[in-house]
Amino acid sequence: MWYGTGMKNVTIEDIARVAGVSKSTVSRVLNHTAVVAPEKRKAVIEATERLGFSPNVVARSLASGRSMTVGVLTQLIGSPFYDAISQGVIAGLGYSDYSPIFADGQWQETKQIDAIGALVGRRVDGMVLIGGGVPSDEISRQCSGLPTVIVARNLPSDRHHCIYMDNVSGGYLATRYLLQQGHRQIAIIRGLEHHPDAVDRFAGYQQAFNEAGLTPDPRLIVDGDFSAESGIRAVNELLSRDLAFTAIFAANDLSAFGARLALDQRGMQVPRDVSLIGFDDQLESAYVTPPLTTVRQPAREMGRQASEAILNLIEGGEFSTQAVQGELIIRQSVAPPLR
């Protein structure tokens, strides 16, 4: 017997009486354990609303042996990209009886490993890992037997369920567009040197040059860390090298924002003097001056897909690794170079 959290304890018998159905029908509707005729489902829902009934999650978890929670490890709370994925997870779980429990990995592998252990210790029913650098074997060890979905990262193993962006293709799209506009001296602000996303986007940059029969200038390659500050530092470093460049491909929108500011501080206008392209398509990208051309990464949709996948795995279903393709969003920060 479950109890509600309204003005008084409400029993299944109360709901069945008001709805005019059997107790087993009420149980099936509340537990989502079987198909119920639409008119009976409607009657049960209306009865629960009339009685002010809200299923007691503690009682439900005791009955099912589940905590009715999903652990979610993100990399940096406050990061627009990771927060967008997290919002997608929250939205997807909102249609279920499960609640997310969040932990922040803070871009540090040891903290990520500790966070996974803490979430497992909370007896979550499933795990969603957003990005990060925890080794594949460590994930398998800590999450052994626990349904787990990894978002924004591709682990080359059939032991893991991944939803990830094809970053090579995204880097290729951005660089090819700049080449098509006539740019040849294209600087790139990479992300963290060994981060898989940064490595793959740089591979796409190289692929576009190779396809065009060109060789990128290695002196125009600068490492960053995906932050706006690193975009500022990268532009200042490029200008200190006294090298000519007509365009910049930034590994993400945040570093592109920093790059644009640094160019402006040096009296250089985008796109008149230097064209600029980012990656992610954050909400703010459409509202900076000039609006930023970028590669859209459907972060929120990836989070929603992850929530659907984890719920399916919890119920014993299957899920296959999925690669998400980026989309070039053309705005006003790219123009042909001045002759």
**Average pLDDT score over residue span 7-15:** 73
| 12-64 placed in CATH 3.30.230.70 | no
Please tell me the total number of residues recorded for the chain in this structure: 339
> Token digits for 201?
């986007």
Run of H or E including 149: strand 148-151
Distance of CA 54 to the CA centre of its chain: 31
| 69-166+299-327 placed in CATH 3.40.50.2300 | yes
SS (H, E, C) 110-142: HHHHHHHHHHHHCCCCEEEEECCCCCHHHHHHH
| Per-residue pLDDT tens digits for 287-307 | 999 999 999 999 999 999 999
* pLDDT at position 206: 98
Q: Using CA atoms, how far apart are residues 66 and 13, in angstroms rounded to an integer?
A: 24
**Average pLDDT score over residue span 258-285:** 96
pTM for the whole structure: 0.74
CATH for 167-297 (3.30.300.160, 2.40.110.20, 1.10.1060.10, 3.40.50.2300):
3.40.50.2300
Pairing type for strands 293-296 and 327-329 reads: antiparallel
Q: Between these two residues, 159 and 298, which has the higher pLDDT value?
A: 298
Quickly count: other Cβ atoms within 10 Å of residue 35's Cβ. 8
69-166+299-327 and 167-297: identical CATH topology: yes
Residues 6+ apart with CB under 8 A from 110: none
**Average pLDDT score over residue span 188-202:** 90
Q: How many Å from the N-terminal Cα to the C-terminal Cα in the chain?
A: 78
| Per-residue pLDDT tens digits for 79-131 | 888 999 999 999 999 888 899 999 998 878 899 999 999 999 989 999 999 98
User: Residues 299, 327: contact at Cβ < 8 Å?
Assistant: no
pLDDT-derived band at 55 (thresholds 50, 70, 90) equals low
Domain residue spans of the chain: 12-64, 69-166+299-327, 167-297
* 249 CB-side CA count, 13 A: 31
| Per-residue pLDDT tens digits for 67-90 | 889 999 998 888 888 999 999 999
Task: For residue 128, give the nearest of 297, 300, 301, 310 by alpha carbon.
Answer: 310
Strands, DSSP E only, in 175-267?
Answer: 186-190, 221-223, 247-250
Matching residue, tokens 């029908």: 25
* pLDDT at position 71: 96
